[in-house]
Structure 1
């Protein structure tokens, strides 16, 4: 019993040690776009509307795709590190960088035609034109963002998280200065904010690349550029595509909710309330996302090392941590429900509406934390294809149709839209929970071993 308790304590410490810095990394990287939005928002309402629309557009068409495809490295790098095939982490990262750079080219073409696309879907021409300008100046950041996500996975899968934290922190502080210079000092408006984003992302990529090159902690995992990275690209793509689908299906759902809120009676109020709820949900979601990363790392490392029972223990502990976190954060949300709205608006009607929404938000946050952690476990095991099917069924067969019924048939408004999200999360959590607890972990460890050696070339294996 004492040995079992010791294992539990050690595993808990490992996960908390990983999750803490990862929360800060997520917050810092998310802050880049928000800081730019704040600077532009103080200039003009038109610019604020345009940049908000452009931000949504680039997230849907570009950043979510890059994030999803890069998450395939959670499986490849994590399991290779556990199997002590350290040099393969550098190879996998190079493969990912090649593929993501290639994928960025058609996305860049889409971004270059933002104005036409936005007008085609019914957006105001003036806002669409300004949003298009912002998006075009964001083009360099698209390529940087893909490389940044690859570097992030390279570090975190080998349990190196503090360099990620301090480089992200430095980048965020620098971004405030760059934004002030570009937007305020030079008076470049939204163009300056977009350029600041690109500069900050490339700065982060550069400084992390230098850490990879010169840090002793990466000496085993980075052995330089290799032609080996040009081989087995199809193996990476086969996992990267369902990884992207898994992430995008979930991300796009919330954009659909924003669109639907604009069709409700009193759309200004409903859209404002939904935007505040989404902003709040994204903020608190950063915490379980940190645990998700920790769970993914621990599960993939243990499976790669051939330790199925340790992987199962890691799964159980990260789920317990997610439940505790969800209860604590949910309690805080409910306690501040009557005053939280004042952080966004002085309109009493908006504040009262937010107060009625936050208990529902607390419930969705609890469920979202669980699904976030379960999705991390799925990435660690290489279940991205299964996760994509689960997300498709949860959000598009259950969530969105239910939201439409609640909001437009039962006339519950934004509450109905958010209840649709809650229904989707319930289905998603139950599905992933059943899959997780019915898993044969010895078989998963064998699959991990096969994946590690099948993704290597014969020269590398020898």
Structure 2
């Protein structure tokens, strides 16, 4: 947000270039890292639950790796090893991402983007490459803390770093310390901010809360192929689950741009409002992931199931509340962002669809949290892929361009698809064998301990 506000003062080209660079970086990099974090959601929350239940050191198990585990290291400290291995996987993943970001300009030109916009976007994205590495640390440590029920750390750190980011944007874009004449200081400031967040979260985890799990750097454990593959499997499912939805909305933004600037502006406004409304159910989903993972790790399938259905009930309440608020603000929402009467009219007409979308989106968000906590993110991944790319986007494009329903058609397509996905996810959660999921959580722990 700070970068957009800063570059908006430099002109349309700078703002458009940063918007395109951000879209490109989100699709090819940041979304992959966020999705890969699902491995921590599952493994660390279940390991922590087992530790808190006192079951972590009471197992008699053989060693499929041909060696006994080190009993001098607590089960809780093995929780830290899941974090370390996930970071290793993410850093390996960052190598091809960095290459893609380095060649942003030619790739955007190949996609038919304007020469000036492509050149500036490429410059911005190259300056964002160093941000990949602190972003990995901050995303992993944030989820590591959340898996222990420590939710305040990120809020505290963001509350401190956000104003610093605004200050850095001003310094590196407008003052004599500015980098370049086209706003190159904006991505540089973002990189510094990501670094500050990562350092602050690491210090918090080490010295305030969560540091008991620290087990030091154990290179033989970091590069254990069996365990790295366990992380990779869960992470890939998380990537598919996260990115399928993230990328779908980027495609909708591109489609809206083909309809004209007024429709793109209206799409941006409505999606921004929907994203803001999404924050509260997202918080519930994160808490649900942690609690369900903790319960399964502790060998309490009934508690996990109870948590899942209680949060689904809360999710339904939040969905109705969000939809109601959107409808109440239907005629005023557009005025908060634009003075263009055409844009305001389109926003007013799209809001009812966005309100209906909220019902499915909130339930889908909660279901995703439940499935990650249960160690079954692949269910959400497959359903999202089918829902968005077999149903939602094709239906939306058909309604938009073949039946000339414009932006309304795109929203109808995705809303319909998400309702289908959400209902199937609820059914799958209802049919989950929670006793079996608790056994699966125990087996993951045994596989981990057997090779430690």
Specify if TM > 0.5. yes
Q: Which runs of 4+ in 1 moved over 4 A?
A: none
* Counterpart in the other structure of 2:217: 225
* Counterpart in the other structure of 1:405: 398
CA–CA distance in 1 between the matches of 2:323 and 2:378?
A: 31
* Counterpart in the other structure of 1:253: 248
Say if 2:123 and 2:184, in contact at 8 Å, map to a contact too.
yes
Q: CA deviation at 1:219?
A: 3.6
Task: Give the SS at the match of 1:165.
Answer: helix
Task: Give the SS at the match of 1:190.
Answer: coil
Q: CA deviation at 1:76?
A: 0.4
Matched, 1:371 2:364: yes
Q: CA deviation at 1:66?
A: 0.4
Q: CA deviation at 1:457?
A: 4.5
Matched, 1:47 2:14: yes
Find the partner of 1:79 among 36, 46, 52.
46
Q: How does 1:173-192 map to 2 (within 5 A)?
A: 173-185=163-175, 186-188=177-179, 189-192=182-185
1:87-115 CA-partner distances (Å, limit 9, x unpaired)? 12210111011111111011000000000
* Counterpart in the other structure of 1:197: 190
Find the partner of 1:67 among 34, 39, 57.
34
Please identify, of 44-53 and 137-146, the stretch whose mean Cα deviation from structure 2 is larger: 137-146
Say if 1:100 and 1:147, in contact at 8 Å, map to a contact too.
no
CA–CA distance in 2 between the matches of 1:89 and 1:197?
A: 30
Which structure 2 residue ranges, 5 or more long, are not aligned? 52-74
Q: How does 1:112-191 map to 2 (within 5 A)?
A: 112-185=102-175, 186-188=177-179, 189-191=182-184
Q: CA deviation at 1:208?
A: 1.1
Structure 1 vs Structure 2 CA RMSD:
1.2
Change (3 A) 1:204 1:457: farther
Task: Give the SS at the match of 2:163.
Answer: helix
Q: CA deviation at 1:300?
A: 0.6
1:339-386 CA-partner distances (Å, limit 9, x unpaired)? 110111101111111111111111111210110010011111111222
Find the partner of 1:244 among 239, 244, 262.
239
Q: How does 1:261-340 map to 2 (within 5 A)?
A: 261-264=256-259, 267-340=260-333
CA–CA distance in 2 between the matches of 1:60 and 1:292?
A: 22
CA–CA distance in 1 between the matches of 2:171 and 2:228?
A: 41
Task: Give the SS at the match of 1:456.
Answer: helix
Task: Give the SS at the match of 1:158.
Answer: coil
1:382-415 CA-partner distances (Å, limit 9, x unpaired)? 1122221111110011001110121112211101
Q: CA deviation at 1:223?
A: 2.4
Q: CA deviation at 1:213?
A: 2.1
Task: Give the SS at the match of 1:138.
Answer: helix
CA–CA distance in 2 between the matches of 1:342 and 1:45?
A: 21
Taking structure 1 as the reference length, the TM-score comes to 0.89
CA–CA distance in 2 between the matches of 1:337 and 1:456?
A: 55
Matched, 1:421 2:414: yes
Which structure 1 residue ranges, 5 or more long, are not aligned? 1-33
CA–CA distance in 1 between the matches of 2:375 and 2:213?
A: 21
Say if 1:77 and 1:88, in contact at 8 Å, map to a contact too.
no
Q: Report the count of equivalent residues.
A: 423
Say if 2:78 and 2:215, in contact at 8 Å, map to a contact too.
no
Find the partner of 2:205 among 201, 212, 219.
212
Taking structure 2 as the reference length, the TM-score comes to 0.91
CA–CA distance in 1 between the matches of 2:44 and 2:295?
A: 12
CA–CA distance in 2 between the matches of 1:413 and 1:218?
A: 50
* Counterpart in the other structure of 1:234: 229
CA–CA distance in 2 between the matches of 1:42 and 1:279?
A: 21
